Each structure stands twice: as structure tokens, then as C-alpha cells.
Structure 1
Amino acid sequence: MSFQLPRSPIAPLLVNPAVNLLRIAAAAASQDGEVDRETIALMRRQVAEGLLADLDPAQAWAELANGLMSDAPSRMLWVLRESRALQVLLPELDALFGMPQSADDPPTVDIGEHQFRVVDEAARRQAPLAVRFAALLYNVGKSDSPPEHLPAHYRHMERGLPRIEAIAERFRVPPEFRDLAVLALLEVERVHRAAEMRAGSIAAMLERVDAFGQPQRFDWLMLLCTCDFRAYPGRATRSYPKAAMLAAALDACKVLDEAALRANYEDDPAGATDALLEARAAAVARALRSERWAGQAAD
């Protein structure tokens, strides 16, 4: 299936030309979708002429969301990048191309290409739109890491946070989309290191990400971490033991009688919080006695 930009003088009366450009890009993400080189060249000329300059970001998001929820979102994103539309719509994402990140074999990957693979993995796993949105953005703080530190990206979280917030405001996405993207920014790399953590640190992580109060968001974070892991070369068919390990830790904590524990510290809220964290750490230690080391060996 091939898509071309309408050239009839009637076409602009039927749909905003800028929206039409994005719809063609989004259609490329569907099964068997593609855009020919001549059409991409035309799209590039239109973008250079300022076609997208006055487009309402809310309209743009509606088309981007359609593409992200298709079978292969990266095909839409590549069309947007090739036409230079990505520089206009998501310059924070476009800027990741050419930036290296540590990997296994090869030793580094291009972060921009990696994010496209992550969102495709999210599509293969039929992830909700919130996960696919976050899949694009959790590394946006790495586009301007100091060259002398590469492929490490020190303090990328501080740089990434205002960028994610700006993107979320620009497209007016639901708050839970922004919150998940921020959570991924802060926690994906920590989750990848979970097998090295002590039980108390794992219990603290579960508390920090509010796995007890927002279990669905925790599941989405684990899904996103799995997609990030599997997007690296050579890992597409490998299991991701950290997600199973943290799920087991969470289950172990859930069976604690929290109400009874807090009742013992009725007049000491701080003591109750400390006791609960200690009890959760002990529960995690019991639950992961074997799973913890198995997960470490598998990664």
C-alpha cells in the first residue's frame, strides 16, 4: 500500500494540508503502509515552506496518536524525520539521532534509532497509548550530553524533565501520559539495575514509584522497561527478569497486614512508616531469595 499527497486544487478545501501531511505519515505505520520517495520529497518541501508552522498542536497530536497506535509506529516516525517534520513537531526527539548510548554488541547504539525500536516493541506488545508516548520521551535529556562523557549521559534526568513537561503541555496530552513519561525518565535505568539492589532498596523503589497506590502505572513502567531492554540488538527474544522480580517483590509486600502494623504506632506516624518499610524489606528478602540471583544471572 502506497500513499501520495493529493495535488488536486480541491484537496485543501477538504482537509487542512498540514493535517493531511501528518495523516499520510501516520498511515505509513499501518500494516503494509509506506510512503514513496517522491511524496517524501514533496512533504519536505512543504515543511521547509512552513506548512506546519501554524498547525494547532492538538490537531497534530490526534494524528500522531493514530500512528503511534498502529502496527509499526516507527514507520510514521521515519517519514516525519525524512520529511523534516519531526524537527518541527518533536525537536527533542529528533535531536537524539547521532547520540551514542552504551549497549552490548555493538558496544553503542544510536539513541534516536533505539527509541523508534522501543515504540515498535511497545506496539508488538499492544501497549496502551500512554506507554507508547513515554517510550518516545524518556531519553530526551540525552541529546546534549557533554561529548567528553559519551556514551555516558550524566545528569540527563535534570535536562529531560523540563523537556517532557514542555512536550506534554504542547500537545495537551492527559496528565497520566506526562506522569508515566516522567516516571520512566527517572526509573528505567534504576529498574535495569534492580538485581544489584538490596531488599531495602527494592522496597524503597516500590514505594517511590507508588506501586502500591497506582498498580496499573507500575505495570506500565515494567512494560516500558521490558520494551527498552528488548529494543537493544540481540535482545529481541530474550526475557526480561527484572520485571518478574519486581512483581514478585510487590506481591510479597501486598500480603503484609499494613493496618495492624500501623496500629502498633498509632501515636508515631514516622515510626509506623519506618516499621512498614522495614517489614516490606524483610518480605522482599524472603521472596527474592532465589529469584533475585536467578534474574541477575539471566541478564
Structure 2
Amino acid sequence: MQIYKVGGAVRDRLLGKPVTDIDWVVVGATTEEMLAKGYRPVGADFPVFLHPKSGEEYALARTERKSGRGYGGFTFHASPEVTLEEDLIRRDLTINAMAEDDQQNLTDPYHGQRDLEERILRHVSPAFAEDPLRVLRVARFAARYAELGFKVAPETLELMRQLSESGELEALTAERSWKEISRALMEDQPQVFIQVLRDCGALKVLMPEVDALFGVPQPEAHHPEIDSGIHTLSVLEQSALHKQPLTVRWACLLHDLGKGLTPEAEWPRHIAHEHKGLTLIKAVNERFKAPKDCQELALLVGQYHTHGHRALELKASTLLELLQSFDVYRRPQRFEEFIVACEMDARGRKGLEQRSYPQADYLRGAANVARGVAVQPLLEKGFKGLELGEALKRERLKALKAYKESAAS
């Protein structure tokens, strides 16, 4: 029995990055031998065991063969005869197909260390094209390591293109796709993930609504970058630069989908794109079964982001409707995320990345004013039920009018 550290732990050590998760491969062992040593089985599809003390995962060396569509369409074979090289060749990228023994002696049959040094994301073998999830994984690694200068090898991008055209991507489950998408969006350069998906044709399969934005012009006065797709990438980039949570990044990606529906005759204007985009945002949300908080914020940002930009001009009554739509009284965090998504949208424009956004503090102040209206005096006046709600609304409107006048003076 020989035990090797494999995959990401080896890759990140060689890159000088912190090693968090460690994967282990056991060569030359049987299930019975693992059980006899106190390892606990956890793998349903193939033999994976938990170490009796550390709890880390140890997998028996295995080979795999394509047997169906999608991520799960594989038959695995594990036995003591499977070599380390045979186990490594089934992995996605050369930089993930290296192993180390307990003395840090490197086993690198597919030149992963060379590709690390040359900053190349390259597939290990033609079997790469058998697993559609790898399209998303490679795009995610491109986003993760973009700051180090990593690029996808042309021949790997070509295999990703073939996978995108094969119909295999449609076989991915919503859960598997969302896991990769959400992880990619939380990388330091998530816009690279979207760009790589577009480069290989996967974006038009997975998110045709986002892909449709590229090549659609916007008014240059407001959008010096002009292209709606480029703008979306820039907004996503800003959300990462400002360390925003997943909810905000997801909303930033989807906020302008309605612009993809504008007839060419109306370009570069996009009248009512906020409302038109809601059906598309809802479709993308449902396709990937995005978490509820991501879904809700994406829809709200899509519908109201231009309200955010025009906050200083809004009538007090419109401002109150906006606050009510977000339920700022019970859901203050959601409104805060809306505000920062609007700010990322404003900054995601060529040459305007450092612009100030006074609308943010103005909206926060308005929310505080509305929340500050006390209910107790109204109860003491005998208001209750629907009448109480209307009275509360009148008092909040009065407070917001005073706030607006104060801010203008």
C-alpha cells in the first residue's frame, strides 16, 4: 500500500499558495485492507474512505470509462493493480494531475509542473472531453489563477468548444452547475470565468441571456465601454474588487439582461429594459436553482437599479415605494446589498471605476428615516389594522419629504 497526496494540494504548494483541502490516493490496496486499518467508507460510487484520526478523505486508485451522458455518466474501476499514473490520467488538467509521497517526491507524468511554470491550463488526455463539468471547472480555474497570468491552452479550449457543441452541457444537473458557478463567482476575477465560457461557446448554451448582451450597444454618454456584455463583465469585476458577497455578484451578472431583448432599431437606447429583463432573470434563477436570497436580490436589482442611480431625483412617494418593495423594515441587509450592487453597476463603466456614488449614502439615509418612524404614537391614537398601515405610510412619506428637502438644501 502506497499513499500519495494528489491534485490541488500539490498544485497550490508548488504555486506557493495556502493549502486548505488535501486529497489522498491509495495505490495497491483493497477495500478490505482499508477497513482493517480503521478507515471508514463513505463513497457510494467508488471507494473513498475517511482516515480514522484526521477524518480526511482517502480514495483507492481507480480508472474510469464513459458509460452515459453528463457528469455522472462514468463507470469506475478500483483495484490494487491500478497504478498512480493510471489514476492521474483521468484528471482534468495537468496542473491537477501531480502527486507527492510523504517525502515530497513529485510524480508528474503529464508535465503539470512545466505547465504551472508556463501558466497554462492544459487537459491531461482526450478523455477530458467526456466530462462536460470540466468546461465549468477549467473556466473557474482560469478565474482563480488569472492574476498569476494563467491562460487556457488553445487545444484545451477547442475541446471545451466541442463539448459545448455536443449537447453534453445540457445533461449537467442544476446542482452541479450551480456549485461550479457559485464558486467561480467568488474568485478574485469572476469576469474571466464568464469570458472563458463565452470563448468556448458554453455561455450561449448555459446562459444564453448573458451571452446575448455581447455586441449590444448602449449610449456612449453613460457607457463609454458601449458594449452591454463588456459592461456586465466590468460590473462583475468591480463586485469582486470590492469583496461583495455571492448574492451581489449574482445580481451584478444578471442585472441588465433586458438589454438583450431590445430591437436593433431602438439601439443604443434600452427603454424599460429593467422590466423586460425580469422574465429572463427568473429563467436563469430557476435553471440553476440558485439559492432564494440570490434569486430575490437578482430580481430586485434587475427591476430597480435605475431607481438607485436616480435616487437623488426620486419623488418622496417613489422613494417610499422603493423602500417598501425591499421590506427595509424587516430585511435591512437586502436593501444594503441592493445599494452596493447599484454602486458596482455605476463603477463598471470604462474610465468611471473610481467615480463617487452619493446615491448610496442618500438611500441608506432614506431607509433609516423610514425605519425611524415610530408605531407607538399611532397605536395610542387608536389606529389599528389597515388604518394603522395607511397612517404609518403617511408618516413615513412625511418624514421622507423632510429628508429630501434637507438633503437638497
User: Which structure 2 residue ranges, 5 or more long, are not aligned?
Assistant: 1-118
Q: Secondary structure at the match of 2:365?
A: helix
| Map of 2:291 onto structure 1 | 174
Identity %: 33
TM-score (norm 2): 0.66
RMSD over equivalenced CA pairs, Å:
2.2
Greater shift after overlay, 147-156 or 120-129? 147-156
> Are 1:274 and 2:390 matched, yes or no?
yes
User: Which structure 1 residue ranges, 5 or more long, are not aligned?
Assistant: 294-299
- Equivalent pairs counted in the alignment come to 288
TM alignment of 1:277-292, pairs within 5 A: 277-292=393-408
| Map of 1:297 onto structure 2 | none
Partner Cα separation in structure 2 for residue 207 and residue 262 of structure 1: 21
| Map of 1:86 onto structure 2 | 203
**Contact 1:80-1:86 at 8 Å conserved across structures:** yes
TM-score (norm 1): 0.88
> Are 1:45 and 2:162 matched, yes or no?
yes
Partner Cα separation in structure 1 for residue 402 and residue 273 of structure 2: 35
Q: Cα offset for 1:176?
A: 1.5
**Contact 1:265-1:271 at 8 Å conserved across structures:** no
Q: Cα offset for 1:75?
A: 0.7
Q: Cα offset for 1:125?
A: 1.3
Letter in 1 for 2:186: M
Q: Highest Rg: 1 or 2?
A: 2
Q: Secondary structure at the match of 1:276?
A: helix
Greater shift after overlay, 214-223 or 23-32? 23-32
C-alpha distance after superposition, 1:118-160 (max 9, x if no partner)? 1111111111111111111121122121223222223434432
Equivalent in 194, 209, 218 of residue 101 of structure 1: 218
| Greater strand content | 2
Q: Cα offset for 1:179?
A: 0.9
> Are 1:29 and 2:146 matched, yes or no?
no
Letter in 2 for 1:280: R
TM alignment of 1:35-74, pairs within 5 A: 35-74=152-191
Q: Cα offset for 1:108?
A: 6.4
Q: Secondary structure at the match of 2:226?
A: strand
| Map of 1:149 onto structure 2 | 266
More relative contact order, 1 or 2 (CA 8 Å, 6+ apart): 1
Letter in 1 for 2:389: T
Equivalent in 232, 253, 268 of residue 370 of structure 2: 253
Q: Cα offset for 1:5?
A: 1.8
Equivalent in 336, 348, 351 of residue 234 of structure 1: 351
**Structure 1: 4+ residue segments shifted above 3 A:** 105-108, 285-293
**Contact 2:169-2:205 at 8 Å conserved across structures:** yes
**Contact 2:383-2:391 at 8 Å conserved across structures:** no
